[in-house]
């Protein structure tokens, strides 16, 4: 059974710091990896996708993928209080299959 593991947190960082969120997955054939952000009481929204090994940057967000280690991470630079949310890691096993989500890491950014 496919599993996606995340540290539940909470991860607390001061405003302006770098927040590092980590995720491991069990299915070696997984091809696509996603980070969703979920504010309290709201629905998840996609913020990053990554498909190949290495780094992918989008503004203050950087996703990192290491398929050999089955490891995905999300870095948030210059963290803002508005980044306080739960971040869900999601993995797609094969083309046409649905996403499997981790339980999420709660991030708290203090001003």
Partner 1 sequence: DAGVIQSPRHEVTEMGQEVTLRCKPISGHDYLFWYRQTMMRGLELLIYFNNNVPIDDSGMPEDRFSAKMPNASFSTLKIQPSEPRDSAVYFCASSSPGANTGELFFGEGSRLTVL
Give residues in contact with partner 1 (CB under 8 A).
32-34, 42-46, 49, 51, 88, 90, 92, 95-104
User: Residue written as tokens 């709660």?
Assistant: 106
Cβ distance to partner 1 smaller for residue 43 or 111: 43
CB nearer partner 1, residue 44 or residue 83: 44
Taking the complex as a whole, the smallest distance from the CB of residue 111 to partner 1 amounts, in Å, to 27
Question: Can you count the helices (H) and strands (E) in the chain?
Answer: 0, 11
Work out how close the CB of 69 gets to partner 1 at its nearest, in angstroms, rounded to a whole number.
20
Q: How far is CA 38 from CA 35, 54, 100, 107, 111, in A?
A: 10, 25, 16, 10, 20
């Amino acid at each position: 059974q496919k599993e996606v593991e995340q540290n539940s947190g909470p991860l607390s960082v001061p405003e302006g710091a770098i927040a590092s969120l980590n995720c491991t997955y069990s299915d070696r054939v997984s091809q696509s990896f996603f980070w969703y952000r979920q504010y309290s009481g709201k629905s998840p929204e996609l913020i990053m996708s990554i498909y190949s090994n290495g780094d992918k940057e989008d503004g203050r967000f950087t996703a990192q993928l290491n398929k050999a280690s089955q490891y995905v991470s999300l870095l948030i630079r210059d963290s803002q209080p508005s980044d306080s949310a739960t971040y869900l890691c999601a993995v797609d096993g094969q083309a046409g299959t649905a996403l499997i989500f981790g339980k999420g890491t709660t991030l708290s950014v203090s001003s």
